[in-house]
Amino acid sequence: MRTTVGIVGAGPAGLLLARLLHRAGIDSVVLESRDRSYVEQRQRAGILEQGTVDVLRAAGAGERMDREGLRHDGIELRYDRRRHRVDFPALTGGRSVMVYAQTEVCKDLIALQLKEGGPLLFEAEALAVEGADTDSPRVRFRHEGRESVLECDYVVGCDGFWGVARKAIPAGLTRTFERTYPFAWLGILADVPPSHDELVYARHDRGFALLSMRSPSVSRLYLQVPEGTDAEQWSDEEIWQELQYRFETADGWRLERGPITQKSVTPMRSYVHEPMRHGRLFLAGDAAHIVPPTGAKGLNLAVGDVVTFARALVHLRETGSAERLDAYSQTCLRRVWQAERFSYDMTTMLHRAPDATPFDDGLQLARLDRIASSRAAATDLAEGYTGFPLD
């Protein structure tokens, strides 16, 4: 089997890359270890930045998003039983975000790929990327009980944090940067209309809470819990009670309850792998970097990486210059580190560490108060949340 671009992983990074290449007339093969329904059901991100929305539209993958997605012009910060709205368009010259779940983005891209694009193989597990520093890199993979080799001009590792592509870069050439946090998120899906029409990020002495949504009738909510928590430790009643405590305001706002249909715990991590390229192997998305979810940046960064790669490859085809491809790692890492900074700032401003001192609490409240009282501070948050421009 032979292709121009071998893509490992059919998460948002791999699927969008295949779509962008197809639109540019470049062939690719996508290998995905899990089955289609698993990829389509995996609950994850919910917020698309303006730039991501624009890219999906331009790729011809925005039709259902434009019909069913919810445009959001702000978020609410909640602390000290008070609420403060951050108005994105007013602070950023018109930018906003879209609530449209990662599951839906993946369903749309899979349907398009199977209809119009090149091969997308499910239950095809990449075992190793070989020859990254040669002109003909290969992906060794297992599909339908047989081992095969995909010969490529380029390989893009879009196989997430636990994938195999990153391992093909010799350890001596890489540097990794990592931070773990002593807390996690307990996330639930509930069949109840969202209790607020925008996302609510709440800082509370009992810990952080987030109100998000999947549709006008389905709520997505998160609670900060200790690292290593088992989701089954929490009864539905305890979850609703704890959410109620953390979202409570002095003006009597109410949290509506409903049947919980899904519960899971997500660990929190910041991670950067440098470089993002070795020879003809390129890493994109979670394969190269992880951010804690507080900034809603993970999926958007994955989109940024594959757009950068696709544009660089088209540039090479059109001009013969590999300059952009050579700059891939540097171009992406600049944006990645901005997202790492933003996600870290949001996380540390809103979560309560187990060893937090009264001084730490005072600083958190001062940071929130600064956003509520200074247009410059609010603009910084709004610019970060709605996203950094794609190069």
**Nearest CA-CA partner of 193 in 287, 259, 95:** 259
Least Å from the CB of residue 181 to ligand RFL:
13
Report the C-alpha gap between 248 and 256 in whole angstroms.
12
- Concerning whether 297 is annotated as a catalytic residue, the answer is yes
61 near ligand RFL, judged by CB under 6 A: no
- What is the number of the residue whose Cβ is closest to ligand PHB? 46
> Out of 196, 292, 293, 328, which one is annotated catalytic?
293
Report the C-alpha gap between 246 and 207 in whole angstroms.
7
143 near ligand RFL, judged by CB under 6 A: no
294 near ligand PHB, judged by CB under 6 A: yes
158 near ligand RFL, judged by CB under 6 A: yes
Per partner kind, with CB cut-offs from 5 to 8 A, the member of ligand PHB, ligand RFL, none near residue 8 is ligand RFL
Least Å from the CB of residue 266 to ligand RFL:
4
Whether the upstream peptide bond of residue 137 has omega within 30° of 0, thus cis, is no
Encoding tokens for residue 331?
């171009």
Q: Which is nearer to ligand RFL, 85 or 143 (CB)?
A: 143
Q: Site residues for ligand RFL, window 193-222 (CB under 6 A)?
A: none
Backbone angles phi, psi at 215, to 5 degrees: -165, 175
> Out of 22, 72, 273, 351, which one is annotated catalytic?
72
Binding ligand PHB (rule: CB under 6 A), the pick from 212, 219, 329, 364 is 212
What is the SS3 string spanning 236-304? HHHHHHHHHHHHCCCCCCCCCCCCEEEEEEEEEEEEEEECCEECCEEECHHHCEECCHHHCCHHHHHHH
- Would you call 100 helix, strand, or coil by DSSP? coil
Binding ligand PHB (rule: CB under 6 A), the pick from 288, 296, 299, 390 is 296
Instruction: Please state, in angstroms and as integers, the Cα–Cα distance from residue 65 to each residue in 60, 102, 150, 258, 288, following that order.
Output: 11, 11, 33, 26, 27
Cβ atoms within 10 Å of 189's Cβ, excluding its own: 19
Select the span of 230-238, 290-298, 317-325, 359-367 touching ligand PHB (CB under 6 A).
290-298
Q: Which is nearer to ligand PHB, 45 or 106 (CB)?
A: 45
Report the C-alpha gap between 318 and 48 in whole angstroms.
30
125 near ligand RFL, judged by CB under 6 A: yes
Per partner kind, with CB cut-offs from 5 to 8 A, the member of ligand PHB, ligand RFL, none near residue 294 is ligand PHB
Name residue, tokens 């080799």: 149
Report the C-alpha gap between 378 and 386 in whole angstroms.
12
- Concerning whether 201 is annotated as a catalytic residue, the answer is yes
Binding ligand RFL (rule: CB under 6 A), the pick from 3, 7, 12, 274 is 12
Least Å from the CB of residue 44 to ligand RFL:
3
Q: Which is nearer to ligand RFL, 14 or 137 (CB)?
A: 14
Cβ atoms within 10 Å of 162's Cβ, excluding its own: 9
Encoding tokens for residue 138?
């290969």
x/- mask, ligand PHB, residues 42-81, rule CB under 6 A, reads ---xxx----------------------------------
Identity of the residue numbered 45: A
Encoding tokens for residue 229?
């928590």
Q: Which is nearer to ligand PHB, 8 or 255 (CB)?
A: 255
| Element containing residue 366 per DSSP (H, E) | helix 358-373
> Out of 100, 181, 328, 385, which one is annotated catalytic?
385
**Nearest CA-CA partner of 150 in 174, 129, 173:** 129
Report the C-alpha gap between 272 and 172 in whole angstroms.
16
- Concerning whether 84 is annotated as a catalytic residue, the answer is no
Q: Which is nearer to ligand PHB, 50 or 294 (CB)?
A: 294
What residue ranges bind ligand RFL (CB under 6 A)? 8-14, 31-34, 39, 44-47, 102, 125-126, 158-160, 163-164, 185, 187, 266, 285-286, 293, 296-300, 302
What residue ranges bind ligand PHB (CB under 6 A)? 45-47, 199, 212, 220, 293-294, 296
Q: Which residues are catalytic?
A: 72, 201, 293, 297, 385
